[in-house]
Amino acid sequence: MPQDTTARTADVVVIGGGAIGLSVAWRAAQRGRAVLVIERGELGCGASHVAAGMLAPVTEADPGELALLQLGLRSARMWPAFAAELSQASGGMDVGLRCCGALVVARDGDEAAALDRELALRRELDLTVRRLLPSAARRLEPALAPTIRLALDVPGDHVANPRAMVNALAEASLRAGVVSSTGDAVERIECGGARIRGVRLAGGSFVAAEQVVVAAGAWSAQIPGLPESATFALRPVKGQIMRLRDPAGPGLLERIVRFEGGYLVPRGDGRYVLGATMEERGFDTNVTAGGLYELLRDAAELVPGVLELVVEETAAGVRPATPDNAPVLGASDDVQGLVWATGHHRNGILLAPATAEIVAAALDGEQAPAAFAARRFVREEAHA
């Protein structure tokens, strides 16, 4: 049942109550806006619920995605202050930020050669990465298999706990005056001419708002009501994960271990997230035997102790991916009052602080960086 059905006007409606939508809502409320978050499920029930929480711009860097890398580095720098402020604003809730670093590990000669290419690329970009022979890598992380061939030490990549983050954002937003309506689906965004009027909810009621932020993850480009010229291609990329617990307590791994096909993220309390598949299967979120098998097979080859861990949960979610893997942020050129905060693909938790800052500023009329504008995808024929 909806938690709140009383607010029927707002300055800003945010569609989507995940890590991105709540971060934006919190920042917009801090700027004096009356904000209503509309979430069709529970807060944080989408990709945020499945995300491991890697804050790993250097590990994830791709040579073809420099704007995304810069945004990721900027947001990573913001994370410690963001976490501290969020903790304070939520009355002391912890968001599980762990400045633990990451190791990228190769299991054979081919992967080691690929890792050396990754190292060269990162050095060209002036990123802090250290090449480690297997013995040195195993001194840092003794649980690594003796058979590993090479590792890269990425000391600046860290991790946060997305579920704890969502809980803290919900509380901080509430304290800042944000109204959250859960179990409430948006049926359509309503425009008058080329201007936002508000949103129509599935039950038929209307919420008037001059600005609507779309932060609905992989569903963001599917909400009816917008002209075709205002939208863009957004595809769901499925990720399956396992949540694991070491009955012996913490200590198996200190750092994130990244490998071809996945990663192991330590929470620091004996719990680990093993993720994640990358599958193009539409909006399917079934957990499959094959998906889990591949994750475990690859992880156990590098960290054999993973097979001793207790499986606490399996889950699957969908990442929102744009054609260039970078997010879509800021005001639409086509519809006045429409603001995008979506397309974060593998980096939603990392990019939340920078996204919130950019989008809250966009609500106040500032231009978001052109590299993240929706117009970069606009199809000529949509304008014809």
- Residues engaged in binding ligand GLY (CB under 6 A): 52, 54, 239, 275-276, 319, 346
Closest separation in Å from C-beta 54 to ligand GLY: 5
Task: Indicate the residue among 229 and 347 with the shorter CB distance to ligand GLY.
Answer: 347
Task: Indicate the residue among 19 and 303 with the shorter CB distance to ligand GLY.
Answer: 19
Task: Indicate the residue among 183 and 268 with the shorter CB distance to ligand GLY.
Answer: 268
Rounded Cα distance between 312 and 307, Å, is 13
Q: Token pair of 38, please?
A: 């509309």
Q: What are phi and psi of 378, to 5 degrees?
A: -65, 130
Rounded Cα distance between 14 and 33, Å, is 12
Task: Indicate the residue among 109 and 323 with the shorter CB distance to ligand GLY.
Answer: 323
DSSP letter, residue 92: S
Closest separation in Å from C-beta 189 to ligand GLY: 27
Closest separation in Å from C-beta 345 to ligand GLY: 7
- Nearest CA among 321, 261, 259, 315 for reference residue 288: 315
Task: Indicate the residue among 107 and 238 with the shorter CB distance to ligand GLY.
Answer: 238
Rounded Cα distance between 274 and 276, Å, is 7
Closest separation in Å from C-beta 52 to ligand GLY: 6
Residue 257: half-sphere exposure toward Cβ, Cα within 13 Å:
31
Task: Indicate the residue among 181 and 277 with the shorter CB distance to ligand GLY.
Answer: 277
Task: Indicate the residue among 107 and 346 with the shorter CB distance to ligand GLY.
Answer: 346
Closest separation in Å from C-beta 346 to ligand GLY: 4
Contact 202, 185 (CB under 8 A): yes
Residue 126, number of CB atoms within 10 A of its CB? 6
Task: Indicate the residue among 134 and 236 with the shorter CB distance to ligand GLY.
Answer: 236
DSSP letter, residue 304: G
Contact 104, 263 (CB under 8 A): no
Q: What are phi and psi of 130, to 5 degrees?
A: -125, 135
Closest separation in Å from C-beta 230 to ligand GLY: 27
Closest separation in Å from C-beta 51 to ligand GLY: 6
Task: Indicate the residue among 54 and 168 with the shorter CB distance to ligand GLY.
Answer: 54
Task: Indicate the residue among 264 and 368 with the shorter CB distance to ligand GLY.
Answer: 264
DSSP letter, residue 376: G
Amino acid at 244: L
Closest separation in Å from C-beta 160 to ligand GLY: 11
Q: What are phi and psi of 350, to 5 degrees?
A: -55, -45
First to last CA, the chain: 43
**Residues near 77 by Cβ (< 8 Å), separated by ≥ 6?**
none
Contact 217, 367 (CB under 8 A): no
Closest separation in Å from C-beta 17 to ligand GLY: 19
Closest separation in Å from C-beta 19 to ligand GLY: 12
Contact 367, 374 (CB under 8 A): no
Q: Which helix (H) or strand (E) holds 77?
A: helix 66-89
Residue 168, number of CB atoms within 10 A of its CB? 25
Rounded Cα distance between 355 and 344, Å, is 9
